[in-house]
Amino acid sequence: MTTAPRTSQAMVIWIVGLAVYFVAVFHRSSLAVAGLLAAERFEITASQLSTFVVLQLLIYALMQVPVGLMVDRFGPRRVLLTGTLVLTCAQLSFAFADNYAWALSSRFFVGVGDAMTFVCVLRLVNSWFPARRIPLMTQLTGVLGQLGAVAAAVPMTWALSSLGWTRAYLATAAIGAVLLVATLIVVRDSPQARTTAGPLLGLAGIKDSLWASWEHPGTRLGFWMHFSTQFSATVLGLLWGYPFFVQGQGLGSASAGLLLTIMVLSIMGFGPAFAWLITRWPWHRSTLVLLVIAAIAGMWALVLSWPGTAPFWLLVLLVVVCGMGGPASMVGFDLGRTSNPVVRVSTATGIINQGGFFASLTTVALIGLLLDWRTPDGVTGYPAEAFTWAMSAQFLLWGLGALQIWRYRRKGRNRLLRDDPDLWSRQSGRPVPGT
């Protein structure tokens, strides 16, 4: 196979994998515009409705390590096919669900299928693209895949109003069926084989693989990078952004929607820029992430301390800076890739991918608890003062994450010096000590 056909084949395989991830995010987010209809259809309360989101995120996070182990064992193609099949069947089930228990179980399996996509696509990127292009392709995968959340808004709103609940969700399941066939035909694990398989691991082998991945300070550094950078934008986009802008800052619904759209555009814009930076200066990947954390925390401090409601231009700056957190979280995967051998890279990716989602779940819960605590009985909606308290909970996670990043970047650099002094010297620009 010549270089040109292999490059074009790599792009086709990546596009199909990206489409699966895009649709997984679409499925994950499709309930966002159907909340009121779901509450009416299943006759549930607001807290029961929020359980859909919490359950999906929790299952997604808990599945990351098992999925990473499966990808290392069975190859990304098989796991991606399985995830696509589970997602499609789950959406098909959700289309016909007519009670809360049935709907909740369907969303449980949406979370399972969703969890089996992203790690697979990153493994395909690592197998099909040269090392110098992997950071860019990783950023593009994360950025373009997340557009599924944007795509879920307008099309699903139209479909639900025009086609009704069942036919709208049947249409989304049909998209998954088409991608299942495309994945089966197009995707190959590597240029050398359609499907690959790692060594058979018993319980002892799984334990050793997990420990070897987690033991490496590069994996832990990647975990805390993902933990510290992703959650603020995720919390805004997934649940609390709209209430904060409308009730906490007194904006109209159109302005709140515009701010959330700007945040998505910010995520898209910073992705390629960060990929170029970490490719050019890999030694300073953790420095870039620490600067992003400082910028996000600084903008939140300014907005929350502003007398009265913050001006619109400051809220625009807030969402733009928060959008930097998405691409910054992807830097963690680059640490995992360069810190682990290829047979463990998906396991390490799964471990790292848990960080941001656990942080998001924690933040969502803390904000909800603090809002309830600071809202007087009998008051409709949440007062601005309650949002100031609630959104300040984020500083606890940034503080913890920044401290851990500082610790593990030192350990990671010392480990690199021990394992590969020449690479340490090239990346740091300093001579190896003692030479």
User: Is residue 180 within 8 Å of 81, Cβ to Cβ?
Assistant: yes
* Protein fold of 213-418: Growth Hormone; Chain: A; (1.20.1250)
Q: Is the pLDDT of residue 96 over 90?
A: yes
Would you state the pLDDT for residue 379? 64
Provide CATH 1.20.1250.20 ranges for the chain: 1-188, 213-418
1-188: in CATH 3.30.160.150: no
Q: What share of the chain is helix, strand, coil (3-state, %, to 5)?
A: 85, 0, 15
pLDDT digits over 182-220, tens only?
Answer: 999 999 988 888 887 776 666 777 788 788 888 899 999
* Separation CA 250–CA 386 (nearest Å): 13
**The predicted structure's pLDDT at residue 47:** 61
Of 42-46, 225-229, 381-385, 388-392, least confident by mean pLDDT is 42-46
Q: What is the pLDDT of residue 327?
A: 92
Place 382 in a pLDDT band, splitting at 50, 70 and 90.
Answer: confident
> Is a pLDDT exceeding 90 seen at residue 58?
no
151, pLDDT greater than 80: no
Query: Could you tell me if 427 and 283 are in contact, meaning their C-beta atoms sit under 8 angstroms apart?
Result: yes
With 0-12 / 13-18 / 19 or more C-beta atoms within 10 angstroms meaning exposed / middle / buried, residue 45 is: exposed
Per-residue model confidence as pLDDT tens digits over 236-258: 887 788 888 988 999 987 888 88
Say what the pLDDT of residue 20 is. 94
Q: Which residues of 66-97 are buried (b: 16+ CB within 10 A; e: fewer)?
A: ebbbbbbbbbbbbbbbbbbbbbbbbbbbbbeb
